[in-house]
Structure 1
Amino acid sequence: MTGKASDTDDERGFAHLEHRYPQAVQAGWVDNQPGPVTRRTVVHLIRGQRRLPVVTEFHYDSADPYSVCVIFNAHTDMTVEWTFGRELLLSGQRQLSGAGDVQIWPSEIHGSGVVFISLRSGAEMDVVAAPAKVIDIFLERTLEVVPLGEEERHSGIDSPVSQLLDEI
């Protein structure tokens, strides 16, 4: 793993899609600098028995250190963005996690690890399957930028206790 834009999904799952998408759509690092972390990949939107491939970006910015953003249909006119906790995504790699609008859990399809993400808005619900290795590597990069437990230092928002202590 080099972390360069040339890295593709072929070593992380969904390799069978390689012939369907140009190189620019396959998984690769969009950033090469510390700070924001963006990982482009193809996930599958599960609709009954059908799996629809969707170009997706996972994004993390140390300015909002507790959250990750997932952008579906990346670089099109019809994008959909979901933001949820980074710790939820971390936990969902190992076990069913989340309650309410976002639930995440690990599984396996045809011998390859996947992470399912269920997104609910009102009465509508969608489930996507992302390659587990892509999620793992994305989260590793976010933890390099902001380790767990150090989010408050990066949030730019002083805690109420810190503010009170500064006033004394």
Structure 2
Amino acid sequence: MSLVIEQAVEARLVAAAPRMATIPAMLSYDRRDPFAVRMTFPAPSTLEGVEVCWTFARDLLATGLAEATGDGDVRVRPYGYDRTVMEFHAPEGTAIVHVRSGELRRFLKRATALVPVGREHLQLDLDHDLAELMRDAC
């Protein structure tokens, strides 16, 4: 069974202009890091011209489909029935995108099939992680 799933999604950038630009993004989930989801925006779609990857809790994404959640760098909330708003806060500014809720639900369904919610701890290798941490400390 695969360790990683990836899914391309279309994000609509909310900007000051009335028309929202569509930008590609990639959602990924790695069962070796079972509590986290990553959303990557390619270099051409960022202000800095470099790929940007945001890492946040899988639970944050799941909860954000039904209700507003997040009080840190990543915030998620429903927007009508078929859209979800994702806010990414950084020192340089805030990016707000709309993503189709169906795409997010499909991604979460695949992630849950890979690692069921509540069973994430079974994917962790604490002995290995501790050994890596200690190796880096020396």
TM-score tier, shorter chain, comes to 0.7 to 0.9
Deviations 1:5-55 (A, max 9, x none): xxxxxxxxxxxxxxxxxxxxxxxxxxxx54311001211111123311111
**What corresponds to 2:125 in structure 1?**
156
Q: Is the 8 A contact 1:103 1:118 kept in 2?
A: yes
1:42 is the counterpart of 2:10: yes
TM-score, normalised to structure 2's length? 0.81
Q: Is the 8 A contact 1:55 1:74 kept in 2?
A: no
Change (3 A) 1:63 1:118: same
- Give the CA deviation at 1:74: 7.2
Distance 1:97 1:80 in 2: 22
For the residue of structure 2 that corresponds to 1:152, the secondary structure is helix
1:55 is the counterpart of 2:55: no
Q: Is the 8 A contact 1:57 1:74 kept in 2?
A: no
TM-score, normalised to structure 1's length? 0.68
Q: Is the 8 A contact 1:56 1:74 kept in 2?
A: no
**What corresponds to 2:50 in structure 1?**
78
1:141 is the counterpart of 2:110: yes
**What corresponds to 2:93 in structure 1?**
124
AA in 1 matched with 2:84: V
**What corresponds to 1:163 in structure 2?**
none
- Give the CA deviation at 1:70: 0.2
Larger Rg: 1
Distance 2:2 2:113 in 1: 8
RMSD: 2.0
- Give the CA deviation at 1:92: 0.2
Change (3 A) 1:139 1:130: same
- Give the CA deviation at 1:101: 1.1
Change (3 A) 1:143 1:75: farther
- Give the CA deviation at 1:144: 0.4
Structure 1 unaligned runs (5+)? Answer: 1-32, 159-168
What does 1:95-110 align with in structure 2 at a 5 Å threshold?
Answer: 95-108=67-80
1:114 is the counterpart of 2:83: yes
Distance 2:72 2:85 in 1: 15
Between the two structures, name the one with larger relative contact order (CA 8 Å, sep ≥ 6): 2
- Give the CA deviation at 1:140: 0.3
